[in-house]
Chains A and B, each alone.
Chain A
Amino acid sequence: QKEVEQDPGPLSVPEGAIVSLNCTYSNSAFQYFMWYRQYSRKGPELLMYTYSSGNKEDGRFTAQVDKSSKYISLFIRDSQPSDSATYLCAMSAIGANNLFFGTGTRLTVIP
């Protein structure tokens, strides 16, 4: 079993839709959670960075962590065609430098 599981999609939504992207994990030691956005032919770009459980909001993006269920989510409100990208979740344990990544979900927002 992989430490981090992420549905690869692809996911297609109409412009303006609310998008929900999710990851599950098995290691209860994970405390730091990240979402990266990767456009085609570019490197991953840090989108959200959270510690432990709870919600964090940044503009149209909300990251949610449920440690009891070992489940994290990224919500995108009012999705735009420019949000079309692959979204990667990543996480790490306290004191660790290494990240564990999901395989990424490919999102297309249709105008």
Chain B
Amino acid sequence: DVKVTQSSRYLVKRTGEKVFLECVQDMDHENMFWYRQDPGLGLRLIYFSYDVKMKEKGDIPEGYSVSREKKERFSLILESASTNQTSMYLCASSGPENQPQHFGDGTRLSIL
């Protein structure tokens, strides 16, 4: 079974802090994704990566950056956290084109 592990289930940070969310997958997948999930808005893609050191902006990249130094690890960075970034963050990975995405259990992030 594919295992996508997100480092924290719950996280509370202060406005202005730099926040790191970590994600690791164990299936040697090329593609990795970061989403945020908000009530009524569904899943929105923040960034994705199709290879080490490669990244592409999704639908809502503003205020976020990502890092992929190793194939199995994809990090989401909130450069200066703001209250409107309070959300559920989901990481996913997938194999080559059109393979389904597999998700971690999410990080519920609160920015105070």
A→B interface (CB under 8 Å):
8, 31-32, 34, 36, 41-46, 49, 88, 90, 92, 94-99, 101-104
Establish whether residues A34 and B97, one from each chain, have CB atoms under 8 Å apart when the complex forms.
Answer: no
Q: How many residues of B contact A (CB 8 A)?
A: 22
- CB of A35, distance to nearest CB on chain B (Å): 10
Interchain CB contact under 8 A, A97 and B40: no
Decide: A32 and B103 in contact? CB cutoff 8 A.
no
Binding site for A on B (CB under 8 A): 4, 31, 40-43, 45, 48, 50, 58, 90, 94, 97-98, 100-106, 108
Residues of B with C-beta under 8 A to A104: 42
Give the number of residue pairs across the A-B interface with Cβ within 8 Å: 52
Interchain nearest-CB distance for B9 vs A (Å):
8
Docked complex Cα distance between A27 and B46 (Å): 21
Name the distance in Å between A97's Cβ and chain B's nearest Cβ.
Answer: 5
Residues of A within 8 A of B100 (CB): 32, 34, 46, 49
With A103-B40, A103-B41 in contact, do A96 and B103 touch (Cβ < 8 Å)? no
B102–A97 CB distance below 8 A: no
- Given A88-B42, A96-B97, A104-B42, CB of A46 within 8 Å of CB of B102: yes
Given known A-B contacts A42-B105, A43-B106, A98 and B98 have beta carbons under 8 A apart: no
A residues less than 8 Å from B102 (CB atoms)? 46
Q: Is the CB of B106 within 8 A of A42?
A: yes
Give Cα A49–Cα B48 distance, bound, in whole angstroms. 21
Bound state CA distance, A103 and B39, in angstroms?
8
Q: Which residues of chain A are within 8 angstroms of B94 by Cβ–Cβ distance?
A: 97
Q: When the two chains form their complex, are residues A97 and B42 in contact, meaning their CB atoms are under 8 A apart? A: no
